[in-house]
Amino acid sequence: MLYNLLLPSPPAPAKVFDQMASSAAMDLSLLNPAAMRRHAASARPRVAPSAAAALGRRVVRFRVAASSSGTAAGAKPAAKKRGKTEIQETLLTPRVYTTDFDEMERLFNAEINKQLNQEEFDALLQEFKTDYNQTHFVRNPEFKAAADKMEGPLRQIFVEFLERSCTAEFSGFLLYKELGRRLKKTNPVVAEIFSLMSRDEARHAGFLNKGLSDFNLALDLGFLTKARKYTFFKPKFIFYATYLSEKIGYWRYITIFRHLKANPEYQVYPIFKYFENWCQDENRHGDFFSALLKAQPQFLNDWKAKLWSRFFCLSVYVTMYLNDCQRTAFYEGIGLDTKEFDMHVIIETNRTTARIFPAVLDVENPEFKRKLDRMVEINQKILAIGQSDDIPLVKNLKRIPHIAALVSEIIAAYLMPPIESGSVDFAEFEPQLVY
């Protein structure tokens, strides 16, 4: 799973997009056989009615702004025809990431980088090959029955949860798949681990997409691969962001699983019963990124690394908090208090992250939560302006002071005294299961 980041997104080079799209398209059959058939018949520039549509399902696509510089050349952003439902893309929508694969090859070249601990990567590879969850993601009739019972706003917000989760998982699949392909020659062991992680993410995304079929919907993952804006991060930032995404994904899933195990009356849909084993995949992915970071100590052992570590922690935590506070109906629907849930996830993720990042935020300082709550209030005002009847120019003018207030609150949170953490020599650090 690749969680989202509240960051401006530099556009991905078109070349990178083309490579990722063609590599990923071949693997879409794992998730969506219809997408594979479409890929084979790629003479048609846009998607023909998919199997899902033929079965009377709606196919959900993502709106990609026509002005977006990151939109891949040749992709047709306007997917309005045929009355398909679209998802409004905002700064908080889950993203698809790409990186500088040439630099990645250099980083994992054992000839150049003597820090690479091949023994540790060999051990991790055996762990991934074991494939603990090979037979875990098997559905049963409970799914459809539970979906049919869900009505009103909860049904709507639930569908959105499935869509966003599916996109985040699929985003991980795309990135890991391409890393597995590109690193094959330079470092076959690391490459194979990436490929096996993409296997896991494909399963997760596929399972969520099947969940959507219970609601007579399907995410058009082929379209998503081609038309979505790719966010470009340098390898260093990919490491920070993916490590945090995997660990925060782990803590989200396990927290929901434990809560529903203790409060089965809120078990509204059986997908949560799968979260216990599922989140172990995310945990293993995070541990692999720990090992990758250890192999690149230059990303962990100087003052810049500390600043970037805090920056990425803050981006991930703020994005999750703002996102979830816009969707309290979902969390309340499964018996959770949104803010309590989020703070638990943030604190646990931060404690886990402190084992590897050289600095983390002091999220257990009550002032940090007060700042997050103020950001939520400001964000609500910004959202209310967007929903008003004003003309766009007036909306933009009205937003300016609130955006300034939000930015200053984020900067103030960033500047709070941090916690020094991690270990430069890593002698005693060993990735371990936190569950």
Residues that bind Fe ion in the complex, under the rule CB under 5 A: 1, 169, 172, 201, 204, 246, 282, 285
**Nearest-5° Cα angle at 434, 431 to 435:** 140
192 vs 282, which CB is nearer to Fe ion?
282
Question: Min. distance of Cβ 269 from Fe ion in angstroms?
Answer: 18
Distance CA 94, CA 16 (A): 19
Nearest to Fe ion of 70, 211 (CB atom): 211
Residues 345, 255 contacting (CB under 8 angstroms): yes
Q: Strand, coil or helix: what is 58?
A: strand
Q: Give 71 or 255: the residue with its C-beta nearer to Fe ion.
A: 255
Q: Is residue 274 within 8 Å of 207, Cβ to Cβ?
A: yes
CB of 112 to Fe ion, least distance (A): 27
Q: Is residue 134 within 8 Å of residue 213, measured between CB atoms?
A: no
95 vs 285, beta carbon nearer Fe ion: 285
139 or 398: CB nearest Fe ion? 139
- Give the integer Cα–Cα distance in Å for 231 and 395: 27
Least distance from C-beta 257 to Fe ion, angstroms? 14
In whole angstroms, the minimum distance from the beta carbon of 201 to Fe ion comes to 5
Q: Would you put residue 245 in left (φ > 0), alpha (ψ -120 to 50) or beta?
A: alpha
3-state secondary structure 234-275: CHHHHHHHHHHHHHHHHHHHHHHHHHHHHCHHHCCCHHHHHH
The answer to whether 388 and 395 have CB atoms below 8 angstroms apart is yes
Please identify, using beta-carbon distances, which residue of 201 and 214 lies nearer to Fe ion: 201
Q: What is the residue-wise DSSP string for 86-139?
A: EE---TTS--EEEE-HHHHHHHT-TTT-TT--HHHHHHHHHHHHH-TTTTT---
Count other Cβ atoms within 10 Å, centred on residue 373: 14
- Shorter beta-carbon distance to Fe ion: residue 194 or 331: 194
- Compute the least distance from the CB of residue 268 to Fe ion, in Å: 21
**Cα 49 to the center of its chain, rounded Å:** 28
Output the smallest distance, CB 169 to Fe ion, in A. Answer: 5
Give min distance, CB of 431 to Fe ion, in A. 14
